Amino acid sequence: MLKRIKLKLNSLFHVSILITMAFCTASFTYKQVRIPLNNDNGVPFYKDEYDYYVDGFDIDINGNFYFLGGDNAIIACFNGENLKFRKKYTEFKSNQIYLLDDKIYLFDYMFEQNNLFILNRDNGNIISRNQNIVKNRVNTYLFRDTSLIVELFNNQKGIDMATEMGYVLFSLSGQFIKKVNNIYNLPKFLINEDEEFLGKWEDSYVFWDYDLDKRLYKFILRNKKGEIVATQNFDEKVFGKSFYGSPIEHKKLRNDNIYILGHDDKDAIITELPLKELFKQ
């Protein structure tokens, strides 16, 4: 492994790394950015006896990084290693975040509030709050495309689910649209129980899996028929330690890249994997 490191002496957030990894006869170059874990001027986090937590992570169309974390919710936006803005909140707890166009979406299901917030992407100001969009108790949820998909416990006749658990699709303004079959709202033949769906890329579907025995991150490209057309494996050490919380939140497909959020004892580590290089055939 070869490393080319550039130090920015005038910046607290100082390390950008380009790394070339050898895979048999091919090589793969990707980028890593390190930003200190710091609730005053770095990546906001919460730490307990187990590990570090960063609840929200996303990337906008300009490549800016957004983090939501802390015992009291703090959002921080970085351009590379440079802080653009940070903001504290009392209106909601730290949760997953989702960026689309010029807005940040956040669903606060804790304590069964089920409030959907919309924030300004440029400064974190609250634009609107859609209160108690569903009365059911929420098990889990994901933002996908232009929607919010929620897994609910069946305790409300209005939803009228046939099973104990069900999946419901909402608009990003909090309006009920329809019931769906799974948390990804994908055809069943595309889903493997061991894989997490990261998103569509061109006409294909990108998934992530973890090989516990070999300690490998596995990235899988499937076509419209669900057939595997390409795979790539990485040693988990490449990305640093995983944050506690929602694993899918720390892996995002944006801007023709996969971004992986990890950490060591001091820094958050963001690894950028270009899809054209990752699935080169």
Classify burial at 116, counting beta carbons within 10 Å of its beta carbon; exposed 0-12, middle 13-18, buried 19 or more: buried
Q: Is residue 108 located within the same domain as residue 214? A: yes
Q: What is the mean pLDDT of the chain?
A: 87
Last residue of a domain, one of 185, 214, 248: 185
> Taking a C-beta distance cutoff of 8 angstroms, is the pair 192, 207 a contact?
yes
**Whole-number pLDDT of residue 51:** 87
Instruction: Tell whether 120 and 245 lie within a shared domain.
Output: yes
- Single-letter amino acid code for the residue at 212: L
29 shares its domain with 95: yes
pTM of the entire predicted model: 0.87
Q: For tokens 């590379």, what's the residue?
A: 80
What string of H, E and C letters represents the secondary structure of the chain? CEEEEEECCCCCCCEEEEEEEEECCEEEEEEEEEEEECCCCCECCEECCCCEECCEEEECCCCCEEEEECCCCEEEEEECCEEEEEEECCCCCCCCCEEECCEEEEEECHHHCCEEEEEECCCCCEEEEECCCCCCCEEEEEEECCEEEEEEECCCCCCCCCCCEEEEEEECCCCEEEEECCCCCCCHHHCCCCCEEEEEECCEEEEEEEECCCCEEEEEEECCCCCEEEEEEEEHHHHCEECECCHHHHEEEECCEEEEEEECCCEEEEEEEEHHHHCCC
Question: Are residues 95 and 154 both part of a single domain?
Answer: no
Angle 80-271-229 from CA coordinates, rounded to 5°? 135
Q: Tell me the per-residue pLDDT of 186-220, one tens digit each, with 9 for 90 and over.
A: 999 999 989 999 999 999 999 999 999 999 999 99
Q: What is the pLDDT of residue 244?
A: 85
Q: Are residues 214 and 269 in the same domain?
A: yes
Total domains, the chain: 2
pLDDT of residue 18: 53
Note the pLDDT of residue 2. Answer: 32
Domain residues for the domain of 148 are: 139-185
Question: Do 63 and 145 belong to one domain?
Answer: no
CA quadruple 5, 61, 199, 89: dihedral, nearest 10 = 90
Clarify whether residues 90 and 151 are in a common domain. no
For residue 163, pLDDT over 70 is answered with: no
20 and 122 part of one domain = yes
Is the pLDDT reported for residue 117 higher than 60? yes
166 lies in the same domain as 91: no
42 and 126 together in one domain: yes
Last residue of a domain, one of 153, 170, 185: 185
Same domain, 61 and 162: no
Q: Which of 66-75, 145-154, 225-234 has the lowest mean pLDDT?
A: 145-154
Same domain, 124 and 201: yes
Q: Give the pLDDT confidence of 15-38 residue by residue, as tens digits.
A: 445 554 444 334 667 899 999 999
